[in-house]
A and B are shown apart, each in its own frame.
Chain A
Amino acid sequence: MAEEEKQFEEFEQIDFLKDRHVRFFHRTLQVLPERYASLETTRLSILFFALSGLDVLDALDVVDSNIMIEWIYSLQVLPTEDKSNLSCCGFRGSSHIGVPYSTKGPGVVHPYDSGHIAMTYTGLCSLLILGDDLSRVNKQGCLAGVRALQLEDGSFYAVPEGSENDIRFIYCAACICYMLDDWSGMDIQKAIEYIRGSLSYDNAFGQGAGRESHGGWTFCAIASLCLMGRLEEALSQRELDRIRRWCIMRQQSGFHGRPNKPVDTCYSFWVGATLELLDVFRYTNFEKNRNFILSTQDRLVGGFAKWPDSHPDPLHAYLGLCGLSLIGEPSLRKVHPALNITQRAFQHLQQLQQTWRESTNSCGGQH
């Protein structure tokens, strides 16, 4: 009797409910109840979590790609006829501003219409995941919009009207430039200075200088430097070893984001991916990490929550899957640890970039 119980417990522990998660994301794509109102301005990032989540689950076939692609393009803030709004270009998080639906230019004149850097980033990722070729992305607009958001100290605002500025938006900017294969969108040197300035006494990164080091901001710092190709230029070997130590100490069962805080599913990705980028993820304890992530799985509605016995949400559902993918969960696609899309979507991006480069080699240039 005891043996059966033990086996059942083990079975429960390792039971990854793939179908439930597919349904969870599928529902997210449709309609959310009013209590999700606070997500209105970030709906495009919620779409990203659902799409990328389905991609990791290898279940994108349940999605109508064309519908999604059209909706995403309707969120693009395009240059107006006279191009006076270039610094506002990029992607909106949703239709909340009230600009009429349109997937074509020129842009509409509106006193308060502008993109949001995190929505430009997740919008581009979402298009890539859906197999789009980005040909309708106004690259000049996006890059001008990103450039306009960078401050003297190297950090970025989220929106041209002003907002808080910190390392999260450096990460968004780096992803955008990386995907568009064009670093004119940012002053890399200044961004590196801000990142270095955010390195805390305990060898990880806060949201800015002097601030408490944190798993999420450490991911933003390291992933940005990797995307820029400047990791070893910006940080010495000794600094990197110290950062590795801080990150690997975050594992308690799953991972937490700061010393003496509770573990939370999303850090299995933020810290896990950072460790992967620093080439030491393999020295973590996969089994304990997996057991924790699965303990936050909602067995009824699918998805993952930050803690066991809590409500699941799209962010934790997505990052929980990414955390499992990092440790090699068999039914999941591999994730690019810096860009945070599947390797499959990343390969699509690489092919696109190859095409772009080839088409700019004109006038008899030999490949």
Chain B
Amino acid sequence: MLDRKEWADLEPVPQDDGPNPVVKIAYSEKFSDVYDYFRALLKKDERSERAFALTAEAIELNAANYTVWHYRRVLLQALSKDLREEMRYITNIIEEQPKNYQVWHHRRMVVEWLGDPSEELEFIAQILSQDAKNYHAWQHRQWVIQEYKLWDKELAFVESLLEDDVRNNSAWNQRHFVISHTTGFSEPAVVERETQYCLNQIRKAPHNESVWNYLKGMLQDRGLSSQPGLLEKVLELKETHCSPYLLAFLFDCYEDALENGVPKDSLDQGCQETLEKALEICKLLAQEKDTIRKEYWQFLGRSLQDRYGGEVSPGDATPTAPASEPQQIS
């Protein structure tokens, strides 16, 4: 309980939910005590050491209370508190509660005030070692790197994480982030290197959506079918390292060819052949390799047929109408 003498001058302010509180949380006396005095300080906007100390107690009871954090920041500045000590404080709290929005925001504010990001990359790496996909941690990392131009060692960091877990989608995203902000993806040498990197990772772990998304993402706007030799390599991999993602990628290559690479004349052999290959992929996915998305692959097949097919035979459904009965679950 709070030392009554120290707080005797203040009238505590209870929460007031009126005559009929809703979604009420049943607080212990100790909890209410801390927050009743917190509310009293807030009302006065008191700028004092005792207020600062109380924010720590309030945070310990509920670190998600953004008003407490804001008030603490006001006090940090008003009392010219030691920001290095605050960094130590927030480091400990984040380690205990790494998925809380307020604590990361607070850390960002302190780093900004100090103008010193020197501890950040190591700290975030620490947090990521406990949960390599923590969204808050990655967000903070991107902010630090972009704000303070700390790009240098990040690609190496990403690669080490991908060594640990080649399926870490956050790491793949970070890879794209680093490269797009440094060398960019326009240089053919970069594209070649990244393509090779992806193919190697696919060979090691074929069933990995992240790597296929990265490869497609990098190439999709310059035309998947226009990458020399890529289609052939993917067709090779299809025999030994197949996955739904590989097949979807193939489909996208064929669709790209139909859209961009090949004359639209439906009587053209090349176009007809490409369309048939694409439809075969849809069928393979729907019937065997990705049956959970059967309806979707069939829909894509119909759409493609409708756009690039020559004669439309009677009984062909239009792309917007489902070919099968609406799903019933009872």
Contact = CB atoms under 8 A, between A and B. Distances in A.
Interface in A108-150: 110-112, 116
B313 interface: no
Nearest to B217: A201
Interface string B58-80: 00011111110011000000000
Contacts of B64: 38-42
B169 A261 contact: yes
Interface residues of A, number: 82
B28 to A, nearest CB: 6
Interface in A210-248: 210-214, 242, 245-246, 248
B70 A286 contact: no
B25 to A, nearest CB: 5
Contact of B23 (A46, A98, A158): A46
B67 A112 contact: yes
Interface in B300-330: 322, 326-330
B217 A330 contact: no
Contacts, number: 207
Contact of A95 (B16, B63, B66): B16
A67 B67 contact: no
Contact of A101 (B18, B24, B139, B208): B18
B35 A43 contact: no
A249 B212 CA distance: 12
B25 A32 contact: yes
B31 A34 contact: yes
B18 A68 contact: no
Interface string A7-48: 000000010000000000000111111101111111110110
Contacts of B142: 210-211
B325 to A, nearest CB: 11
B264 interface: no
Number of contact residues on B: which range applies?
A: 35 or more
B283 interface: no
Contact of B210 (A112, A259, A287): A259
A164 B139 CA distance: 11
Contacts of A343: none
A327 B329 contact: yes
Contacts of A287: 327, 329
Given A95-B17, A164-B104, A213-B173, A284 B26 contact: no
B300 to A, nearest CB: 9
A31 B27 CA distance: 10
Contact of A32 (B17, B23, B35, B65): B23
A111 B71 CA distance: 10
Contacts of B138: 211-212
A64 B19 CA distance: 13
Contact of B217 (A36, A164, A203): A203
A280 B177 CA distance: 30
A111 B21 CA distance: 24
A50 B27 CA distance: 21
A31 to B, nearest CB: 5
Contact of B299 (A98, A242, A280): A280
B15 interface: yes
Interface in A244-294: 245-246, 248-249, 251-253, 258-261, 280, 282-288, 290
Interface string B86-117: 00000000000000010011000000000000
A104 interface: no
Contacts of A98: 13-16, 39-40, 42-43
7 contacts: A30-B24, A38-B62, A41-B64, A71-B17, A71-B18, A112-B67, A210-B181
Interface of B: 13-18, 20-28, 31, 35, 39-40, 42-43, 45, 61-67, 70-71, 101, 104-105, 133, 135, 138-139, 142, 146, 167-170, 173, 176-177, 180-181, 208-210, 213-214, 216-218, 220, 248, 292-296, 299, 322, 326-330
